[in-house]
A and B are shown apart, each in its own frame.
Chain A
Amino acid sequence: MSRYLLKRILMMVLTLWIIVTLTFSLMHMIPGDPFASESDQLPEQILLNLRAKYNLDEPLPMQYLLYLKSLVMLDLGPSIKSETRGVNDMIKDGFGSSALIGLQAIAVALFFGLLFGTIAALNRNTWIDYAAMVLAVLGIAVPSFIMAPLLINYLAIKWPLFPVATLTSWKHSVLPSLALAFGPLAIITRYMRTSMIDVMNQNYIRTAEAKGIPTFLIVVKHGIRNAILPIVTFMGPLIAGLLTGTFVVEKIFAVPGIGKYFVDGIFNRDYPVILGTTVFYSAILVLIIFLIDLAYMFIDPRIKLSSRGR
């Protein structure tokens, strides 16, 4: 087992390195550079000095090595567009807000998704099932960028239950979290219903019923544990995505998170910001996928990931 763990951790570093390398090549292949919009207004010499300041005058392989060197020191470099703040500061300041909203959204989506999905599966083809499925269809058919204005309109303007814009108290985080939670909630409900129906038809459930175990215990101990696997798989990228913020919802609710840097960085050709946000997101993603692979074995001991095993 420890051999497997060590191997996986080495693999994670390797994966991150490949992602950095590919991102580095991709972003330099795209036409334009950080100073493209200023190149008409600034004198030649100033542009040259600016490029030199950010090492953009070096040949590409040299720039790549310089970046890797600072990355090993956990320094994500300066932001070209923002003169005073480095990429590290951007992430440090914004991650808290993004993660708070993301975690709340995940908790809401997971709890209600599992609950609705299980109830729908157990009451298959009754009105309860249909109600849960209508909710699921709506949740997917109404994306977060429509959900967010609707929530603001009804829960903040017509009935002022929650404040909106910026993030100064916990109450401010309720609406953005809800707007984010709706889609994943619907997807989890749908997966849970399908896989729960499948599991409840299995022989071991019949055995448990025959032994006289109460339905509630059968569902919790045998049903959910076997049915949850597709959701565990789906949660990996979802958690990583929600933790690192979302462009649209953060923009609509004016949350000072890090979601906007992912898009702005690319449009401004702000190379250190593109690489920094990518490294940060990928590190979280790779770590969570690793934890999920471990969770597979914990949830279902029949699963063997490595032939050497434990």
Chain B
Amino acid sequence: MAVDQSVNELFRPKAQKADGQIAQMRPSLTHFQQVTRKLVRNKLAMVGLTLIVLLIAMAIIGPHLVSYSYSDQSLLNANQEISSEHWFGTDELGRDMFSRTWYGAQISLIIGISAALIDLIIGVTVGGIAGYMAGRGKKGDRIDTIIMRLIEVLYGLPYLLVVIMLMVVMEPGIVTIIIALSATGWVGMARLVRGQILQLKNQEFIMAAQVLGAKFPRILLRHLIPNTIGVIIVNLTFTIPSAIFAESFLSFLGLGVQAPIASWGTMTNDALGVILTGDWWRLFFPALMISLTMFAFNVFGDGLQDALDPRIRE
């Protein structure tokens, strides 16, 4: 009894502040503030973000840093190695590779990022609805079945036929390429999200949300999608480079951007012909830029994924 009393004496009420409130431990943060704080503290993610900003900035100002435009030909200066005159060398028509690389960055980044964003919006919505509806009564099953069969049809249709068709209907150009790429591109994202949601939706926390009376859009947006964010971000980081390469494949077949317009994809393609003659700079610079873009989006995506995951606390 005596011991208890002496222990109790060690506890004293905390001195009250002048305004009568108990001192707050730390300021409460909104979800957005928490995410940005975690993201800023992640060094690798910040390296990625810096690289992305640099690449975009160079895409805008790069072509204007040299006196040559991307299409200026000078056959006397063909196939030159890198020098103080041509920082990235020249190609077989004597066009300045530095100017072409950054002009190509505009085309490739626009195509890659737009295609990825369109895939994200359509794919996540459609996949989310299909995954949530599957196994939810007769009507739910029917919605899932229709969406999934539609996805199979889109997968099965010859992609090239769709692209050529679009080229006939619309005028060739970047917008057409973006539409052609995302017309069939979103199905991968949709299948992936559906698969994840099938796995998640029978878990306890979803049941808890339903019992508490949450409606479908809230469950989908606040509970299911945040838990699939990892897979979604990984998919996005692949969509950007694969759109860049899909464009180069189309250009290879004569359906992409038309010469003399450059893109990283067409430049890598052109460089393949000279890969054995030792003109290394032709392949090196566009391939390096594609790799840097990939790297930047990957590490930034990883950081974003960690920052968005509420289970990983500081």
A interface vs B, CB < 8 Å?
Answer: 11, 14-16, 18-19, 22-23, 26-27, 29-31, 133, 136-138, 140-143, 145-146, 149-150, 153, 187, 190-191, 194-195, 197-198, 201, 229-230, 232-234, 236-237, 240, 248, 262-263, 266-267, 274, 277-278, 281-282, 285-286, 289, 296, 300, 302-307, 309
Q: Which of A26, A31, A194, A296 sits near B195, CB closer than 8 Å?
A: A296
A-B pairs with lowest CB-CB distance, top 8: A282-B156, A141-B291, A233-B195, A304-B135, A19-B156, A141-B294, A194-B230, A302-B202
Asked if B161 contacts A266 (CB within 8 A), the reply is yes
Q: In the complex, A145 Cα to B250 Cα: how many Å?
A: 13
Q: A18-B153, A187-B238, A305-B134 are in contact. List 15 more A-B contacts (CB 8 A).
A: A19-B156, A31-B168, A138-B291, A140-B294, A191-B234, A194-B231, A229-B199, A230-B195, A234-B192, A248-B249, A274-B161, A303-B198, A304-B134, A307-B136, A307-B138
**Interchain nearest-CB distance for A188 vs B (Å):** 11
Asked if B156 contacts A145 (CB within 8 A), the reply is no
Q: A26-B162, A187-B238, A306-B135 are in contact. Are A229 and B195 (CB under 8 A)?
A: yes
**Interchain nearest-CB distance for B184 vs A (Å):** 11
| Chain B, Cβ-Cβ closest to A304 | B135
- What are the interface flags for B278-290 relative to A under an 8 Å C-beta threshold, 1 for contact and 0 otherwise? 0000010001001
Residues of A within 8 A of B269 (CB): 145
Residues of B within 8 A of A19 (CB): 152-153, 156-157
Q: Which of A26, A229, A237, A289 sits near B196, CB closer than 8 Å?
A: A229
Q: In the complex, A31 Cα to B157 Cα: how many Å?
A: 18
Q: A146-B287, A230-B195 are in contact. Are A29 and B165 (CB under 8 A)?
A: yes
| Chain B, Cβ-Cβ closest to A7 | B145
**Interchain nearest-CB distance for B188 vs A (Å):** 7
What are 17 inter-chain pairs, A to B, with CB distance below 8 A?
A: A11-B149, A14-B149, A15-B149, A26-B162, A27-B161, A31-B168, A136-B298, A141-B295, A149-B272, A194-B233, A230-B231, A237-B188, A262-B160, A263-B160, A266-B158, A285-B152, A300-B199
Q: A187-B238, A278-B157 are in contact. Are A137 and B268 (CB under 8 A)?
A: no
Q: In the complex, A309 Cα to B168 Cα: how many Å?
A: 46
Q: In the complex, A282 Cα to B134 Cα: how many Å?
A: 23
Asked if B199 contacts A146 (CB within 8 A), the reply is no
Q: Which of A14, A142, A187 sits near B287, CB closer than 8 Å?
A: A142
Asked if B161 contacts A263 (CB within 8 A), the reply is no
Residue of B168, B199, B309 most packed against chain A (CB within 10 A): B199
Residues of A within 8 A of B134 (CB): 304-306
Interface bin, chain B: 35 or more
Residues of B within 8 A of A195 (CB): 230-231
Asked if B191 contacts A26 (CB within 8 A), the reply is no
Asked if A201 contacts B311 (CB within 8 A), the reply is yes
Asked if A145 contacts B161 (CB within 8 A), the reply is no
B253 in the interface (beta carbon within 8 A): yes
Asked if A191 contacts B231 (CB within 8 A), the reply is yes
Residues of B within 8 A of A136 (CB): 298
| Chain A, Cβ-Cβ closest to B231 | A230
Asked if A26 contacts B157 (CB within 8 A), the reply is yes
Q: A26-B161, A305-B198 are in contact. Are A198 and B230 (CB under 8 A)?
A: yes
| Chain B, Cβ-Cβ closest to A234 | B192
Residues of A within 8 A of B194 (CB): 233
B155 in the interface (beta carbon within 8 A): yes
Q: In the complex, A289 Cα to B268 Cα: how many Å?
A: 34
Asked if B305 contacts A281 (CB within 8 A), the reply is no
Asked if B153 contacts A22 (CB within 8 A), the reply is yes
**Interchain nearest-CB distance for B170 vs A (Å):** 14
Residue of A143, A149, A234, A278 most packed against chain B (CB within 10 A): A143
Asked if A137 contacts B295 (CB within 8 A), the reply is yes
Residues of A within 8 A of B188 (CB): 234, 237
Residues of B within 8 A of A236 (CB): 191
Q: Which of B164, B192, B199 sits near A302, CB closer than 8 Å?
A: B199
| Chain A, Cβ-Cβ closest to B162 | A26
Residues of B within 8 A of A190 (CB): 234, 237-238, 298
Residues of A within 8 A of B158 (CB): 23, 26, 262, 266, 274, 277-278
Residues of A within 8 A of B168 (CB): 29-31
Residues of B within 8 A of A143 (CB): 245, 248, 268
Residues of B within 8 A of A281 (CB): 156
Residues of B within 8 A of A229 (CB): 195-196, 199
Q: Which of B137, B160, B283 sits near A266, CB closer than 8 Å?
A: B160
**Interchain nearest-CB distance for B114 vs A (Å):** 19
Residues of B within 8 A of A306 (CB): 134-135, 141
Asked if A296 contacts B157 (CB within 8 A), the reply is no
**Interchain nearest-CB distance for B300 vs A (Å):** 12
| Chain A, Cβ-Cβ closest to B305 | A194
Residues of A within 8 A of B233 (CB): 194
**Interchain nearest-CB distance for A35 vs B (Å):** 18
Q: In the complex, A153 Cα to B242 Cα: how many Å?
A: 25
Q: In the complex, A136 Cα to B295 Cα: how many Å?
A: 9
B241 in the interface (beta carbon within 8 A): yes
Asked if B192 contacts A233 (CB within 8 A), the reply is yes
**Interchain nearest-CB distance for B216 vs A (Å):** 16
Residues of B within 8 A of A26 (CB): 157-158, 161-162, 165
- What are the interface flags for B233-265 relative to A under an 8 Å C-beta threshold, 1 for contact and 0 otherwise? 110011001100100110001000000000000
- What are the interface flags for B174-208 relative to A under an 8 Å C-beta threshold, 1 for contact and 0 otherwise? 00000000000000100110111011001100000
